[in-house]
């Protein structure tokens, strides 16, 4: 080809490559950069001393994540020690001090925040800190190993540490945050822990025993249940990411086409979007048909379809009822997504509300046992703790939470709230579904792939109805394309965690880790505000304590190659994905459908989720 021909062809190619690069940047910015920019920890207008604390917390979080990612390598090159007792664990001995340090750091962050929160929060958190210190101190059983009521250095130091913490709370309760509070709390908790664990190790050494793994297992199994709310909330991260990717992808295609039409470069945006919609629809139909017929790809069980259809209809009914209660126009998808942080962790905490009392009872029982309490009385405490975390208690809590969320949704709707009522109602419905099989004593099955079928067929039906009524404009086509992509998200969202599974070598951990990391970089919105009950330093330290402790529990299970070594966070993350994640996707689908059927087409534009200020 001549040079002239190559020159003539280069501008179109250059423009094409430029458009591809622009689209890729738009996707990257919308899916990754913008959520992080909106939800990250911010270092603006921070009081003196808070910045270094944030740095310490971030470094600790990254260290725990590195332990998880490097667990296979660490176990292969480090000497392993085996714990004794009913549960046998093999752990890299050299990393046990790091695990203990991360736990104590989380405790110090929490207690420092408790100095400046509302009174009931301060009382609860201080009780928890005191019990943890007394529990660790009780591990010093004395030279003969009998323990009993013998006074040991570990017990004395832990009691002095508790007295010091209580005095600090009394003295600093009404004061503003000061930079020296966190180092002081960390020194008190750290010194008490070092003395107690050092004494335990020294007592076990003459018998040829390594008390480190056993102590770590005991501490993590006792405290690990406090990470359950974070694990439940982490389960929704994959669904949140998938929804953001779907809306951003369609917006990245739609907006340039609309701009080209306005400049006169493109005559019909609808034609291009129709082609894109048809291609996505063919993909969804062929994939789901293969899943139903052959079981390949997404496996769709026919028996799951009836209840899945009922779920979609029930959420549509709740959506209609909420709209009537609010007496306003349809809720958009960014309204739903912007309220996720207001629902995720609070709902997760409500669903696991019985676990905090369980931890308190278990710690208290072990402390009083070390001081020679009557065995029968302690046995009653363990019975109560088992009942609180049993199936009956969990069923009652989930049912009560489900009903309460639906009631709250309608109350908020009557007050004019938008997005949060729809999300709470969807979560409440799934909470009730989780207890329904136990109540009716019959198998009631649904699945995400079956919901994907219902969403896809509902979207295609809606497209036909809008086309017949001549209301299928470019914006509505784009919205329905988002709905089809959300049907894929309902079936395939777990795939997003697969790259992490390959690195870690365990698929169960990947979902939890993805949720923890994504939540850490995008869900710090709560730290941006301030109030008298929860000033900004307290919010920041509570956020860091929750994040660091959750990922530390996961790191311990990963290093032990047993997620149940402390508590199986993966099971709770899976439940969070099933309940919160599926509810979020269906709420997003309903928002898309409602906006597409709204009379005002101008309100039908698909935009990436934004967080309200």
With CA atoms as reference, report the closest residue to 319 among 341, 340, 335. 335
**Cα end-to-end span (Å), the chain:** 57
Q: Is the pLDDT of residue 422 over 70?
A: yes
Q: What is the pLDDT of residue 142?
A: 66
Confidence of residue 5 (pLDDT cuts 50, 70, 90): very low
- Cβ pair 155, 140 in contact under 8 A: yes
- Cβ pair 280, 484 in contact under 8 A: yes
Cα 428 to Cα 311: distance, rounded to the nearest angstrom: 12
Q: Which residue has the tokens 């890299």?
A: 92
* 61-94: pLDDT as tens digits: 999 999 998 888 888 887 777 665 555 667 787 8
Q: Mean pLDDT over residues 84-112, rounded?
A: 83
Q: Where are the beta strands (DSSP E) in 54-126?
A: 80-82, 90-92
* 314-327: pLDDT as tens digits: 999 999 999 888 88
Helix or strand or coil: residue 80?
A: strand
Q: What is this structure's pTM?
A: 0.85
Cβ atoms < 10 Å from Cβ of 440: 9
- Cβ pair 139, 215 in contact under 8 A: yes
With CA atoms as reference, report the closest residue to 161 among 133, 122, 139. 133
Q: What is the pLDDT of residue 188?
A: 95
Q: Mean pLDDT over residues 281-296, rounded?
A: 72
Quote the tokens at residue 76.
Answer: 């292969």
Q: Mean pLDDT over residues 12-21, rounded?
A: 63
With CA atoms as reference, report the closest residue to 464 among 317, 257, 253, 274. 274
Q: Which residue has the tokens 């792939």?
A: 449
- Cβ pair 513, 230 in contact under 8 A: no
- Cβ pair 240, 576 in contact under 8 A: no
Q: Which residues pair with 92 in a beta bridge?
A: 80
* 595-612: pLDDT as tens digits: 888 875 444 344 444 433
User: What's the length of the chain?
Assistant: 613
Cα 411 to Cα 432: distance, rounded to the nearest angstrom: 19
Q: Which residues pair with 80 in a beta bridge?
A: 92
Helix or strand or coil: residue 45?
A: coil
With CA atoms as reference, report the closest residue to 509 among 520, 500, 518. 500
With CA atoms as reference, report the closest residue to 53 among 13, 109, 1. 109
The distance from CA 305 to its chain's CA centroid, rounded to whole angstroms, is 28
Q: Which residue has the tokens 């309902």?
A: 490
Q: What is the pLDDT of residue 425?
A: 94
Q: Please indicate whether residue 137 or residue 262 has the higher confidence score (pLDDT).
A: 137
Confidence of residue 192 (pLDDT cuts 50, 70, 90): very high
Q: What is the pLDDT of residue 504?
A: 55
- Cβ pair 601, 269 in contact under 8 A: no
Quote the tokens at residue 542.
Answer: 């509570």
**Residue 331 DSSP one-character state:** P
Q: What is the pLDDT of residue 132?
A: 93
Q: Is the pLDDT of residue 210 over 70?
A: no
Cα 199 to Cα 192: distance, rounded to the nearest angstrom: 11
Q: Is the pLDDT of residue 263 over 80?
A: no
Helix or strand or coil: residue 90?
A: strand
Helix or strand or coil: residue 483?
A: helix
**Residue 209 DSSP one-character state:** -
Confidence of residue 9 (pLDDT cuts 50, 70, 90): very low
Confidence of residue 508 (pLDDT cuts 50, 70, 90): low
Instruction: Report CA dihedral (62, 67, 70, 74) to the nearest 10 degrees.
Output: 150
Cα 440 to Cα 151: distance, rounded to the nearest angstrom: 54
Cβ atoms < 10 Å from Cβ of 561: 16
Q: Which ranges of 173-210 does DSSP label H, i.e. alpha helix?
A: 181-204
State the chain's mean pLDDT as an integer.
81
Q: Is the pLDDT of residue 261 over 60?
A: no
Q: What is the pLDDT of residue 134?
A: 92
């Amino acid at each position: 080809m001549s040079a002239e021909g190559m020159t003539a062809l280069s501008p179109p190619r250059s423009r094409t490559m430029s458009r591809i690069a622009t689209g890729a940047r738009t996707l990257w910015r919308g899916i990754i950069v913008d959520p992080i920019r909106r939800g990250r920890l911010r270092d603006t207008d921070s009081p003196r001393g808070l910045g270094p604390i944030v740095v310490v917390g971030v470094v600790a979080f990254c260290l725990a994540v590195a332990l998880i990612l490097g667990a296979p390598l660490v176990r292969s090159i480090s000497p392993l020690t085996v714990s004794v007792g009913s549960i046998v664990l093999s752990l890299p001995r050299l990393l046990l001090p790091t695990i203990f340090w991360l736990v104590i750091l989380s405790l110090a962050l929490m207690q420092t925040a408790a100095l400046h929160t509302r009174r009931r929060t301060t009382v609860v958190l201080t009780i928890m800190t005191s019990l943890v210190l007394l529990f660790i101190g009780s591990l010093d059983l004395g030279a003969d190993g009998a323990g009993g009521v013998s006074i040991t250095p570990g017990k004395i130091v832990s009691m002095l540490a508790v007295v010091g913490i209580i005095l600090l709370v009394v003295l600093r309760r009404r004061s503003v945050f000061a930079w020296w509070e966190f180092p002081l709390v960390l020194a008190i908790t750290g010194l008490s822990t070092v003395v107690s664990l050092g004494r335990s190790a020294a007592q076990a050494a003459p018998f040829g025993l390594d008390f480190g793994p056993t102590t770590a297992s005991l501490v993590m199994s006792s405290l690990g249940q406090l990470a359950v709310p974070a694990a439940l909330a982490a389960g929704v991260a994959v669904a949140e990411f998938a929804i953001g990717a779907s809306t951003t992808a369609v917006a990245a295609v739609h907006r340039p086409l609309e701009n080209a039409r306005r400049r006169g470069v493109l005559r019909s945006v609808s034609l291009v979007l129709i082609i894109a919609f048809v291609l996505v629809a063919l993909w969804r139909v062929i994939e789901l048909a293969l899943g139903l017929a052959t079981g390949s790809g997404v496996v769709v069980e026919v028996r799951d379809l009836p209840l899945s259809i009922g779920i979609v209809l029930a959420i549509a009914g709740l959506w209609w009822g909420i709209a009537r209660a609010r007496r306003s126009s349809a809720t958009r998808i960014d309204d739903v997504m912007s309220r996720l942080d207001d629902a995720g962790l609070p709902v997760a905490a409500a669903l696991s509300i019985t676990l905090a009392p369980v931890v308190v009872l278990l710690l208290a029982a072990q402390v009083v046992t070390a001081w020679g309490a009557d065995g029968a009385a302690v046995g009653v405490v363990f019975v109560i703790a088992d009942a609180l975390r049993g199936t009956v208690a969990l069923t009652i809590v989930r049912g009560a939470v489900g009903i309460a969320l639906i009631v709250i949704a309608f109350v908020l709707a009557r007050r004019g709230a938008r997005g949060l009522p729809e999300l709470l109602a969807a979560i409440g419905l799934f909470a009730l579904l989780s207890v329904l099989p136990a109540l009716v004593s019959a198998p009631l099955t649904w699945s995400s792939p079956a919901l994907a079928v219902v969403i896809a067929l509902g979207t295609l039906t809606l497209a036909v109805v809008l086309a017949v009524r001549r209301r299928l404009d470019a914006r509505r086509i784009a919205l329905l394309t988002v709905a089809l992509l959300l049907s894929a998200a309902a079936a395939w969202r777990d795939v997003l965690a697969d790259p992490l599974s390959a690195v870690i070598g365990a698929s169960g951990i990947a979902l939890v880790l993805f949720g923890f990391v994504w939540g850490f970089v995008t869900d710090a919105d709560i730290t941006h505000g301030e109030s008298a009950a929860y000033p900004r330093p307290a919010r920041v330290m509570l956020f860091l304590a929750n994040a660091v402790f959750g990922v530390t529990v996961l790191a311990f299970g990963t290093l032990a190659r047993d997620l149940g070594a402390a508590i199986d966070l993966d099971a709770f993350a899976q439940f969070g994905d099933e309940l919160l994640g599926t509810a979020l996707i269906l709420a997003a689908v309903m928002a898309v459908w409602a906006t597409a059927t709204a009379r005002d087409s101008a309100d039908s534009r698909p935009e990436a989720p934004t967080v309200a200020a």
